[in-house]
Amino acid sequence: MDAAALAASDMKQRVDYDRVADVYESRYQLNDYTGVETALVTFVEGAHMSQQRVLEVGCGGGHWLRRLGESGLNVFGLDPSARMLAVARAAVGGGRLVRGRAEALPYASSFCGRVFSINALHHFDEPAAFFSEARRVLCAGGRLLTVGLDPHTGQDEWWIYDYFPAALIEDRRRYLPSGRIRDLMAKAGFSNCETRIIQHRPRVMTVSEASSDGFMDRTSTSQLMVISESEYEAGVKRIHEGVADTGGVKMLRSDLRIYGTTGWVA
């Protein structure tokens, strides 16, 4: 493999969120995120009292900003997708939403007291640059939270990985191990960096349920959007040709852990 091909193979597969913006928010009706919500609410505690700004990087359609804004927090959001921001503006208003990149946050130093990123870090081109920028825009005593999967642990079971093995390969390319996240945070100047499981999400559903509820649609999760069309079609075929469980009902199983990693500004 020549240098150009090697470089291309190391690049993250990109998801065009402009294409899926209109349906993206449906995942919050289909999936349980109660553990993530609890962790986020705990993370922003104290920001009310000090009137600190709270910034979400990779805010998508504004689901989490809306949730925090309802409790009176001073929320701001950034995302690179114009269409996603249009959805977010309809949900939370447009004055505090900015189109931009995580690696070059368009905010002044010490701008806010909290920065968080939920299921977005694996989309950033340069996580180390993001952590440096997060450190810069946080004031003294500020905190950073990033939430996501860790497919490197080998602990999770997910029917998507079983039937679409290319998705697991891509996820291990896209997602950083939790230990690496903590290392990058520490190098950026954060202290007391720690990771914990904030939600354990087991689920069993029939193929019929998965199909009717949209879980098998390519737009339902980035894991199905980063693989090729042929890999996707082959996975769907494997599902329908799979061996049925007792009673003749095919079941799709998942047992996922969602991790939250935090760091403090001294």
What pLDDT does residue 4 have?
33
What pLDDT does residue 256 have?
97
> Which of residues 21 and 183 earns the better pLDDT score?
183
What pLDDT does residue 23 have?
74
pLDDT higher than 70, residue 11 = no
The CA-based diameter of the chain, rounded to the nearest angstrom, is 61
What pLDDT does residue 248 have?
62
> Which of residues 28 and 67 earns the better pLDDT score?
67
Rounded CA gap, 149 and 240, in Å?
Answer: 27
pLDDT level of residue 247 (50, 70, 90 thresholds): low
At residue 16, the 3 state secondary structure works out as: coil
Reported as a single tens digit per residue, the pLDDT across 97-141 is 999 999 999 999 999 999 999 999 999 999 999 999 999 999 999
| pTM of the predicted model as reported, rounded to 2 decimal places | 0.90
- % pLDDT > 70, the chain: 91
> Which of residues 250 and 54 earns the better pLDDT score?
54
Q: What value does the mean pLDDT take over residues 214-226?
A: 93
pLDDT higher than 80, residue 22 = no
Full set of structural domains in the chain with CATH:
3-150+175-201+257-264 (3.40.50.150)
What pLDDT does residue 26 have?
75
